[in-house]
Amino acid sequence: MPVSAARKIAYDVLRRVESEGAYASDVLHAKLGAAVRADDAALATEIALGVLRWRGLLDFLLERALKKSVERLDLPVAIALRMGLYQLRFLERIPARAAVNESAELVKRAQKSSAASLVNAVLRRLAAEAKEPPEKFLPAGISLGERLSISHSHPAWLVECWLPRLGETQTISLLRANNRTPRLASSLHHPERRDEILESLRNSGLAVEQGRLLQSAFAVAGGSPTRTDAFRRGDISIQDEASQAISFLLDVQPGDRVLDLCAAPGGKTPTLARCAGRNGLIVAADLHAHRLRATREQFKRLNLSQVRLVELDASATLPFGIQFDRILVDAPCSGTGTLARHPEIRWRLKPEQLRELHRLQYQLLHSALKQLAPGGRLVYSTCSLETEENENVIAEALGNLPDVERVTASEAGLSISPHLADGVEVKNLFDDLGQFHTAPGAYQTDGFFAALLQKR
């Protein structure tokens, strides 16, 4: 029995994610070229990302049938079992026979033919109970954190971090949001041509929706915007709405000297450059040369010739002989605000990494604040939900730098209010200290944090 193109692609994506540490979205982007049929691309994406989101629950159910850990299986066998069970439980339009038989064929394709009968037998057994709610199989007497961890497919340590801080109701809401397919949000690089650009996208066969958080943002469905003329011309980019909002918080003015300190892959820089205008100075810096090369290609597509790219280690003393009016520190982080978009992160992240990230993030912020001009504004942002990476980093910096203070909540709100979509209240985006927050699910965005700081 031949294996469908969609399942081959999904299998190869999952293999690379598990064996090479790749990101599923990057591998899918590389594999789903114009030669791949749209329905195959959609199914491959659904299976690959669905397996990654629900891996914890899938493994729990598989281990009941296997009587041993999935981790003890050869990787091709584990991937085929997860793919088969995901289709049985979550994809109602896929016949059980196809899910089972093609999963067995996948292990043969991976030269693990001896395991094909195991895959077939286990999946047939689990197909009989595929309509049963997973809660039915949970062990008696387990803790709330363990129960939520299994039924919502998240690491137990992460759930147990969120429960005391968010409470049960908000934690469940967050877990559910992380398991939903996110909107494919996009940014508009020429707002004055909005109607023309969106009409072009519709003519390409895409459905276009208004932004939920920002006036200038939009989302598409029914295909990939990267295949459109609007994307190739540099009119649009794929970018989450909360990520787009960060650039507006910096409140760049015409002629400003702007430093985007952790710029790659360059998603936030275009808005900064547009606001600074031709008389502004825009410097985009990053540690990694290969990421800067990708950023340079992005800027070529967008015709951003005025941006200066610099390779540097921003955790050390910065090499600039000038101070900047505006600095963005979009710090490397755990990415726990993006688990719907990058589900593999939840299985890779370890508790000790939060402490390591905190140290790096503080160093980046400390270096950047030394380069900030008096009266200037700095935005520190992450796509993390964790206190260690957000509030604690800001508190440490303010404790050590007496000439730095917070931008007040009212001032912070003024910078973004003109850009918000109808019905979005600015007060709901900021806490009492003027720190910006978005939670996955609220506006169908990723989870972002930002603090606005200024130098006296």
Q: Which three-class secondary structure state does DSSP give residue 297?
A: helix
Is 161 in the active site?
Answer: no
First to last CA, the chain: 71
Taking the CA of residue 343 as centre, how many other CA atoms within 13 Å lie in the half-sphere pointing to its CB? Answer: 26
H/E element, 324:
strand 324-330
Helices and strands, number each (H, E), in the chain = 18, 12
In terms of phi and psi (left: phi > 0; alpha: psi -120 to 50; beta: otherwise), the region of 205 is left
Rounded Cα distance between 44 and 10, Å, is 5
Closest to 307 (Cα-Cα) out of 316, 317, 298: 298
Taking the CA of residue 271 as centre, how many other CA atoms within 13 Å lie in the half-sphere pointing to its CB? Answer: 27
Rounded Cα distance between 335 and 343, Å, is 10
- Tell me the chain's radius of gyration from C-alpha atoms: 23
Residues annotated as part of the active site? 383
